[in-house]
Structure 1
Amino acid sequence: MYFASDNCGPALPSVMQAVMDANDGYQPSYGDDALMGEVRALIRTQFEAPDAAVYLVATGTAANSLALSTLAQPWQTVFCTPLAHINTDECHAPEFFTGGSKLSLVGASDKMTPDQLRAAIERWTYGDVHVSQRGPVSLTQVTEMGHVYSLKELAALTGLAKTYRLPVHMDGARFANALAALECTPAEMTWRAGIDVLSFGGTKNGCMGVEAVIFFDPKHAWEFELRRKRAAHLFSKHRYLSAQMLGYLKDGTWRQMAARANAACARLAAGLRDAPGAVLQNDPQANMIFATLPRAAHQRLHDAGAVYGLFAPLKGDDAKEALPMRLVCDWSITDDLIDRFLDILTA
C-alpha cells in the first residue's frame, strides 16, 4: 500500500525492455543516437508540431530550470504560483540556471487566474531600470494540489501573457495525467493553447529517469543546447535516455498508464468519501488526493504498512484529531491495494 509518490513506483516493463534493447553494440554519443531520432519524430507527430525542438534530460528540475533559463534574462522575473515546484522544491535551481532571474508569486494557491496574473505583471513597471523586468509565465499542469487547468483556463492565461509579450512555460511533470483528465490532444494542451515550451514528464509516469524539453518554436534550440551542456546535463551515453522515452511513447503507453493512475485515484477518492472521519481537501482531478483522517485511522494504516505523505505527528493523545495527508497513485497501483487500504479505514 504505497501511496507516497509516483516517483517511488517501478519503471514500466516497456521502458526497461527498451533500455535492455539499447544495451547492444555501439551508438553515437551525446544525443546523436538513432533512438533519439525516433523519439524526436514520435514527439513531433504526437504533438502535431513538425518543427519542434526536442531534448532530453534526466530530471524535472533540469527540464524546468534549463527551459526557463532559455526564456528568461537574468534581470527578468518569472511569474508562477506560490505552490509551483520551481518555487518550493527546486532549491533555487531556476534562479541559479537563469543567472539570477527572480520568481514573482501569483495568487495564493496552486492555480492562478488572469486577474491575478495581470496584477502580478503590473507590479513591475515596464522600462524602469531599478526593478525586475517582466519575464516568462510558468504554469504547472497537473498542479501541486492535484488540479488541472482546463483548455479555456490555459488559453486565457497564455492570451494575457501574450498581450505583454511574455513567453509561457508549462511544468508538465504530470502532463500525461492532465491529458488523460481532459481527454484532449497534446497539441490542444500546449502550443494550440499558447504554450511556448513544455517540460514533458516521464519519470512520474513509469520511466526510470527522463524528461523531455519541447520548444514549439525551434529558434530557441541552439541556446538550449549550449545551456544544457554548460549545466552538465548533456548525457554522454544518451541512448539510455532515448530508450526510456521511446519505451514510454510507443504504442500510446504513456497515455494508457496515466489513465490507469487517474482511475486508481478516482477509486481511492470514492472510497475515502465514504470512510468515517475522512475529509477531502481537494477535488482530485488526476492522480493526487489531499485529505484529512483522524489520528486513530492513520495509526491503523501505518500499523498495517501503508506508506503515504503525512503532514503531522502520528503520535499524540487526541485519537480524533484530523491529520493532513497526501496520497498519490502511479500506474502500478492495483485495485486490490486500494481496497485493502479502504478496508482498514472502515474496520
Structure 2
Amino acid sequence: MNFASDNIVGASAPVLQAIMQANAGTMAAYGNDEISKRIRVRFNEIFEREVSVFFVTTGTAANALALSSAVPPYGLCVCHREAHVIDDECGAPEFFMHGAKLAGLPGVGAKLKAEDVEVYLKSLPKAVKQMPPKALSISQVSEGGLVYGLDELAALGAVCREHGLSFHMDGARFVNALVSLGCTPAEMTWKRGVDILSFGATKNGGLMAEAVVVFKPALAEALDYRSKRAGQIISKGRLVAAQFEGYFADDHWLDNARHANRMAALLSEGLRQLPGVRLAWPTEANEVFPIIPKTLDQALKAAGILYHPWTDLSLPETERIADHEVLIRLVTSWASRAR
C-alpha cells in the first residue's frame, strides 16, 4: 500500500476520456481552441462571477505565477513557515517574483491565525530598509491536513484588505477542503477576500491539470506574458483544458474528493484504535498525521507500506513526540480502496 501522496495514482477515467476526445482532429493552438474557451466559461459558472483563468501544468507553476502577479521584486509575501510555497518549490516563487521574499510565520497545524498575521504586519518597520508586505499566501488544505473555516478565511481576508495585501490561496487540494466545509467555491474564495487562487486538479484525478484563477482583475493584466515567459502557454493547450472538462462533468471532481476524504476518515478511525497511536491534528480532508511507536513504524515499513515521516514544528504546545515515537503522514486519494 502506498500512502506517500495523492500524486502517486494516475488520471481518472473521465479525465482520460476527455483527453482522447480532444485529441481527435485539429484545433487552434496556444489555448485559443473551443475547449479552452468552454472551460473558462465553466470556471465563471463554478465561481459565480467572471474570473480570469490561466491553465498551467504544475502546482509549482501556478503558485509561482500567482505570487509573481501580486508581489513586486522589492516586496514581501507572508505565509506559514511550512507552506508549500516556501518549503517545497525550490525557490520558484522567489525566482518568478524576481527577488521578492517569503516570510514564514508559525501556526498550529500549519495554519495561520488572522491575529498573528496582524501582529506581524504591525511589527514591520515602514522604512525603506524593510521590504513592504504585498501578499498573504495560505494553503487550503494546510500542510498539516487542516482546513481553514469560512470565518477564518474571512478574518484573514479582512487583514489583507486593511493592510493592502493581495490574498493568495494555494489550492492544490482545493476540492478536498471544499467538500469538507460543504460550501461553494465562491464562498471559500472571493466572498471571503481571496484575490487569486492556485486551483489544483492533478491530485484529484487530473493528469497534469492546474490553473491560476484570478478574482482581482489588476492581478490578471500581465499573467499572459508571465505565463509565456514561464513556458506555460502550451501549444496543444486543448489537451490541458480538456482535462477540466472531464473533471467537472457530472460533479466528478466533487465525488473524487468526497471519496478521498472518506478514505482518510476511515484510515484515521482505524489508526486511533491501535495502542500507542494518536493523531497530531484532526483529520479534516484526505491526509492523516498519526504519531506512532517506532516499533509500529518499523513493522509498517517492513510490510512494504509507503509514507513519509513528518515534521513536528506545527504541533500544539501541549503535544510532544517521545523518543520512542515518530510522526508520519498518510495520504488517501480518489483511487484509494477500503480493505
What range describes the TM-score normalised by the shorter chain of this pair?
Answer: over 0.9
Letter in structure 2 aligned against 1:144: E
1:169 is aligned to: 168
1:273 is aligned to: 272
Give yes or no for the alignment of 1:28 onto 2:28: yes
State the Cα distance separating 1:222 from its structure 2 match: 3.1
Q: State how far apart, in whole Å, the 1-side matches of 2:198 and 2:289 are.
A: 24
Q: State how far apart, in whole Å, the 2-side matches of 1:89 and 1:142 are.
A: 15
1:154 is aligned to: 153
Letter in structure 2 aligned against 1:261: A
Q: State how far apart, in whole Å, the 2-side matches of 1:11 and 1:308 are.
A: 21
CA contact (8 A) 1:261 1:331 kept: yes
User: Which stretch shifts more, 183-192 or 16-25?
Assistant: 16-25
User: Which stretch shifts more, 219-228 or 80-89?
Assistant: 219-228
For residues 318-333 of structure 1, what are the structure 2 equivalents within 5 Å? 321-333=324-336
State the Cα distance separating 1:157 from its structure 2 match: 0.7
Q: State how far apart, in whole Å, the 2-side matches of 1:157 and 1:292 are.
A: 30
Q: State how far apart, in whole Å, the 1-side matches of 2:326 and 2:234 are.
A: 43
Q: State how far apart, in whole Å, the 2-side matches of 1:117 and 1:106 are.
A: 8
Helix, strand or coil at the partner of 1:234: coil
1:214 is aligned to: 213
Helix, strand or coil at the partner of 2:185: coil
Q: State how far apart, in whole Å, the 2-side matches of 1:76 and 1:219 are.
A: 17
Q: State how far apart, in whole Å, the 2-side matches of 1:234 and 1:267 are.
A: 41
Helix, strand or coil at the partner of 2:256: helix
2:318 is aligned to: none
User: Which stretch shifts more, 102-111 or 250-259?
Assistant: 102-111
Deviations 1:122-155 (A, max 9, x none): 23233x2221012111111000000001000000
Normalising by structure 2, we get a TM-score of 0.93
Question: Using a 3 Å threshold, how does the CA distance of structure 1 residues 108 and 311 change in structure 2: closer, same or farther?
Answer: closer
2:16 is aligned to: 16
1:317 is aligned to: none
Give yes or no for the alignment of 1:97 onto 2:100: no
2:64 is aligned to: 65
Q: State how far apart, in whole Å, the 2-side matches of 1:75 and 1:84 are.
A: 21
Q: State how far apart, in whole Å, the 2-side matches of 1:73 and 1:311 are.
A: 33
Helix, strand or coil at the partner of 1:117: helix
CA contact (8 A) 1:111 1:143 kept: yes
2:123 is aligned to: 123
CA contact (8 A) 1:104 1:120 kept: no
2:188 is aligned to: 189
5+ unaligned residues in a row in structure 2: which ranges? 312-322
Provide runs of 4+ in structure 1 moved above 6 Å. none
Helix, strand or coil at the partner of 1:188: helix
Letter in structure 1 aligned against 2:291: T
Give yes or no for the alignment of 1:240 onto 2:243: no
User: Which stretch shifts more, 39-48 or 295-304?
Assistant: 295-304
Deviations 1:191-232 (A, max 9, x none): 001000010111111111111111113333330111010111
5+ unaligned residues in a row in structure 1: which ranges? 313-319, 337-347
User: Which stretch shifts more, 2-11 or 320-329?
Assistant: 320-329
Q: State how far apart, in whole Å, the 1-side matches of 2:73 and 2:191 are.
A: 28
2:317 is aligned to: none
Deviations 1:43-101 (A, max 9, x none): 1101101x210111001111011011001111110010101101100111111001111
Q: State how far apart, in whole Å, the 1-side matches of 2:193 and 2:15 are.
A: 31
CA contact (8 A) 2:69 2:220 kept: no
CA contact (8 A) 1:278 1:294 kept: yes
CA contact (8 A) 1:107 1:117 kept: no
Q: State how far apart, in whole Å, the 1-side matches of 2:295 and 2:269 are.
A: 21
Alpha carbon RMSD of aligned pairs, Å?
1.4
Letter in structure 2 aligned against 1:26: T
CA contact (8 A) 2:83 2:143 kept: yes
State the Cα distance separating 1:311 from its structure 2 match: 5.2
Helix, strand or coil at the partner of 1:187: helix
Letter in structure 2 aligned against 1:163: E
1:225 is aligned to: 224
Question: How many percent of aligned residue pairs carry the same amino acid?
Answer: 41
Helix, strand or coil at the partner of 1:209: coil
Letter in structure 1 aligned against 2:41: A
